[in-house]
Structure 1
Amino acid sequence: MTLEKRIHIDFLLKKGVTIPNPESVDIGPEVDIERISGDGVTLYAGTKIYGSSTLILRGAVIGLEGPVTVKDCYIGPEVRLAGGYFSGAVFLKGSAAGAGAHVREGTILEEAASIAHTVGLKQTLLFPFVTLGSLINFCDCLMSGGTGKQDHSEVGSSYIHFNFTPNQDKATASLLGDVPRGVMLRERPIFLGGQGGLVGPCRLAFGTVIAAGCIYRKDELRPGRLLIGAAPRGGSVPFSSGTYPNIKRIFNNNLAYVANLTALMQWYRHARALLVSGEFPQALLDGLIETLARGIDERVARLRALSRKMPAAIDIYRAGAGENASAQLIAQKQALFDRWPDIEEMMGRARDRGGDARLRDGFLTKLAEEIDRSGRDYLTVIKALKPEAAASGTRWLEGVAAAVTEDAADLIPEMGSMK
């Protein structure tokens, strides 16, 4: 162990960090060890901590079941990372990851969200209490729903969110539930049965259940539905990549996703900002906002790449369809290409819009009153909000999201209005 590493380890031990095998722990020279709490934090053998942004708060337990690498992560109180690789992610109070996890940039696990062993996440947002089983790949998703530890949205083991297409793009983010209602912790949970898959980009309503073993490819915006995916027929048919026959659905589902992330940004900046405390310090809120901002950037970048493919997509489609080519479909693709700069500019502006000031300020007043009564624990405060207060907050956030989709409809009417 180098002298610098020894100094870091000794400093952490003096702060009260439990390190059963100090020789096996690696702390990068760029790490600000002042951002690692000494209150109940445990770093087990094989733990490696890197990145100047890394934050580790009270009661975090890292590496109990296997080696862990943490790089530029924000780890809140009582988080448990059992084993694996974690980079550019945020873990809020009481969230957990099992052994063999591979959690990458843009991922946020909110309070008490958890993943079991051998789960891969990237650009994934799990709202409070959402639970993922084991052996899962669930990148590019936002999942909400449920009211508590006994009533939560869940993904069964051996599940895949298919987020890469034969056209070699990733404009495939899926919105499971939504932000305006999901943040209020009052909606029916979503359940995705094990050994199945969801083909993005997809939208599912609260209360949706997908039967185990199904590969589901459609949207379901009616709440409380059981979905049973049929097996595709066998055969061999002509296929030409790059035609994008469903470009309207792809664009609108991506737009809905960005609109919801924009609403979540306002929730973080205004609602969660009122709950800053020793358990939820400003540094953790800053990390949450920065990570979400990068998530919005990622979605916009994926849409930008898609828009650039449209001229070639038109040519491929025309060559294959001949006289049967749909003028409407061609117009949709051309409009996406031509107007993308304006759409991207609109999305950039949207993340800074606070929504209807009257609705926002009215809700925030009610939230502040509940904080005075209940304290600053996020889950306690949100669950204690009166129904009318929660409804007013939902209306505020729905307005934030709707502004994005309505502005897009004005810019690119060929895609139709969102429903």
Structure 2
Amino acid sequence: MGGGTSRKNHSEVGSAYVHFNYTPQQDKATPSLIGDVPRGVMLREAPIFLGGQGAIAGPVQIAYGTVISAGVVCRTDCLKEEMIVSHPPKPASSKKFYPGLYGDVSHKVASNILYVANLLALRQWYRYVRHGFFVREKYGDDLYAGSQKVLENALTERIVQLRIFAKNLEKAATREKEIKRIFSVKAWRSQNQFLKNWPAMEEYLLKGNEENISLKRKESFLKIMKKQSGEFKTYLEAVKLLTPLQAQRGSAWLNDIVQGITSGCLSIYQHTKQ
């Protein structure tokens, strides 16, 4: 979750807010991206407000400046910035549930890839930007090691949940005719593509490809931050005193990572094996 510029102007999660992440098909491949990494780390985006007694049914993406009214369950992406989301309660309805069967999973797959890509960008930010500030503080090395551990755990958790998702689809694959009849041929293809291509997708996500993306922008921005770290004592001071153009350069580097990893992994997912 990103958003906000300071402790007085920050994103907010209201009282008793819930992120629903466990599906009836018994998987947790449902991460939600609230804001993003490339812009969020620059501490100059509009805050996001999630009203109390509300919830998110993941996976969804929520743009900066979004206000979700109290009591609302957000079930879809909110991609337009600075909008109030206040859906009226849906009338009660019921329909047939098919245990173990999925519909079109393409949005779910894309959401997971985007989330992992943001984690990889955040790891680059900590590795090459925040590290220089950590080491100047007492216990800085330990704090940096801890931050890396948290990021590694988050990444590992996403991969584990995608593996579970793949196993669920493998079980469902024995019911191909049912899936096509109940949902659609497109739904079946979206599942089959993920099932066949997941090993290559996992390898791609864990290979460290983010290290080799947008190297010129990375080098240019790191020079700026090196100068900032020499002039200002704290990480927050250095980031907040970046000019708009300098901040844009940093965001562009991180966004290249997010877009590069996302498009690279999606191309593997969408590849049809003969």
Q: TM-score w.r.t. structure 1 length? A: 0.62
Residue among 222, 232, 241 paired with 1:374: 232
Residues 153 and 189, structure 1, Cα contact 8 Å, conserved in 2? yes
**Contact 2:63–2:79 (8 Å) recurs in 1:** yes
Q: Give the percent of matched residue pairs that are identical in Structure 1 and Structure 2.
A: 36
SS at match of 1:337: helix
Could you say if the C-alpha distance between residues 385 and 295 of structure 1 is closer, same or farther in structure 2, counting changes exceeding 3 Å? Answer: same
Per-residue Cα deviation, 1:21-71 (whole angstroms, up to 9, x for no partner) = xxxxxxxxxxxxxxxxxxxxxxxxxxxxxxxxxxxxxxxxxxxxxxxxxxx
> Where does residue 357 of structure 1 map in the other structure?
215
From 148, 151, 168, give the equivalent of 1:289.
148
- Which residue of structure 1 lines up, in the alignment, with residue 266 of structure 2? 409
Write the mapping of 1:4-403 to structure 2, written as runs, cut at 5 A: 143-275=1-133, 276-279=135-138, 281-316=140-175, 318-319=177-178, 322=181, 325-350=183-208, 353-375=211-233, 377-403=234-260
- What is the total number of aligned residue pairs between the two structures? 271
Q: 2:179·2:188 contact (CA, 8 Å) conserved in 1?
A: no
CA shift for structure 1 position 179:
0.2
Contact map agreement 2:52 2:70 (CA 8 A) in 1: yes
1:311 Cα deviation after fit:
3.3
Show CA shifts across 1:77-113 (max 9, x none).
xxxxxxxxxxxxxxxxxxxxxxxxxxxxxxxxxxxxx
Question: Secondary structure of the equivalent of 1:349?
Answer: coil
Q: Per-residue deviation at 1:229?
A: 2.6
Change in Cα spacing, 1:316 to 1:210, as seen in structure 2 (3 Å) is: farther
What letter corresponds to residue 252 of structure 2 in structure 1?
Answer: R
**CA displacement at 1:280 relative to structure 2:** 6.1
Rg larger in 1 or in 2? 1
Superposition deviation, residue 243 in structure 1: 2.3
The amino acid that maps onto 1:183 is: V
Q: Is the 8 A contact 2:103 2:179 kept in 1?
A: no
Deviation digits for residues 97-150 of structure 1 (CA, Å, limit 9, x no counterpart):
xxxxxxxxxxxxxxxxxxxxxxxxxxxxxxxxxxxxxxxxxxxxxx11000122
Structure 2 gap segments, 5+ residues each: none
Structure with the largest fraction of strand: 1
Change (3 A) 1:384 1:339: same
| Residues 104 and 190 in structure 2, CA contact (< 8 A), matched pair in contact too | no
Q: Is the 8 A contact 1:242 1:316 kept in 2?
A: no
The structure with more helix, counted as a fraction of residues: 2
Residue 281 to residue 260, structure 1, CA distance change in 2 (3 Å)? same
Could you tell me how far 1:244 is from its partner in structure 2?
2.0
Q: Could you give the per-residue CA deviations for residues 290-312 of structure 1, whole angstroms, max 9, x where no partner exists?
A: 22012101101111111122233
- Alpha carbons 1:144, 1:189 under 8 Å: kept: yes
Q: Which has the bigger relative contact order, CA under 8 A and spacing at least 6?
A: 2
CA distance in 1, matches of 2:113, 2:152: 16
Is the 1:145–1:187 Cα contact (8 Å) retained in structure 2?
yes
Offset of residue 313 of structure 1 = 2.8
